């Protein structure tokens, strides 16, 4: 009976030790699994972070490369655009100059000059005055002379297209009625308002 009891006791201890060992193993497995998952999570996070850093670095390099290329394209495009705009404006004003030269040869030009002289003389004291005209513009000289004004006519090489400058020496006043001046004003207006040019 004592042997039986010892055997039973042995089995009891064996069972108890086995259960405790199993319980301890389960706890250890859980701790190991937890530690493993924690370490793996950190490793994954580190890998993701490293991957993201590499990715961001790569993206930054790509962005820089493409930005440089875009900038180069932009510079080239701006140069082409400015060149094209300049060509267009030159073509426009070249056409205007042709029309001015054709207009100067017509009777409408004679009428225009005569009306401008009469209008200007209405607004100034009829004292001594000087008409400055283009050396090539015979018509203006003839019109001024035909008006029998007490005036002097001087040639001014700066006047290219036509019209006149009325100078009043007593008042140090100069009234510019040249076609050159009007053309310059129109150019300035065009450059300011035309969508062909970049405005600041």
Burial 18-51 (b: 16+ CB within 10 A, else e): eeeeeeeeeeeeeeeeeeeeeeeeeeeeeeeeee
pLDDT at 156: 92
Of 141, 140, 152, 147, which Cα lies nearest the Cα of 112? 140
157 within 8 A of 136, measured Cβ to Cβ: no
Q: What is the pTM of this model?
A: 0.55
Superfamily grouping for domain 107-193? ATP synthase, E subunit, C-terminal (3.30.2320.30)
pLDDT band at 200 (very low <50, low <70, confident <90, very high): very low
pLDDT band at 91 (very low <50, low <70, confident <90, very high): confident
Judge whether residue 146 has pLDDT over 60. Answer: yes
pLDDT at 1: 44
Question: Mean per-residue pLDDT for 77-87?
Answer: 73
Task: Provide the 8-state DSSP code for 104.
Answer: H
pLDDT at 168: 87
pLDDT band at 125 (very low <50, low <70, confident <90, very high): confident
Judge whether residue 12 has pLDDT over 60. Answer: no
Mean pLDDT lowest among 132-136, 139-143, 188-192: 188-192
**In this predicted model, which residue has the larger pLDDT, 164 or 7?**
164
């Amino acid at each position: 009976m004592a042997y039986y009891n010892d055997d039973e006791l042995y089995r009891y201890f064996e069972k108890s030790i086995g259960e405790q060992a199993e319980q301890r193993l389960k706890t250890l497995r859980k701790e190991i699994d937890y530690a493993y998952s924690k370490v793996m999570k950190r490793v994954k996070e580190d890998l993701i972070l490293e991957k993201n850093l590499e990715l961001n670095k790569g993206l930054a390099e790509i962005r820089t490369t493409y930005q440089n290329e875009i900038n180069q394209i932009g510079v080239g495009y701006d140069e082409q655009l400015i060149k094209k705009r300049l060509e267009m404006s030159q073509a426009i004003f070249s056409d205007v100059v042709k029309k001015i030269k054709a207009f100067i040869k017509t009777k409408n030009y004679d009428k225009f000059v005569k009306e401008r002289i009469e209008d200007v003389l209405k607004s100034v004291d009829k004292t001594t005055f000087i008409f400055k005209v283009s050396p090539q513009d015979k018509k203006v000289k003839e019109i001024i002379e035909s008006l029998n004004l007490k005036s002097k006519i001087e040639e001014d090489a700066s006047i290219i297209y036509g019209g006149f400058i009325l100078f009043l020496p007593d008042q140090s006043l100069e009234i510019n009625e040249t076609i050159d001046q009007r053309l310059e004003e129109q150019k300035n207006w065009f450059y300011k308002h035309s969508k062909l040019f970049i405005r600041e």
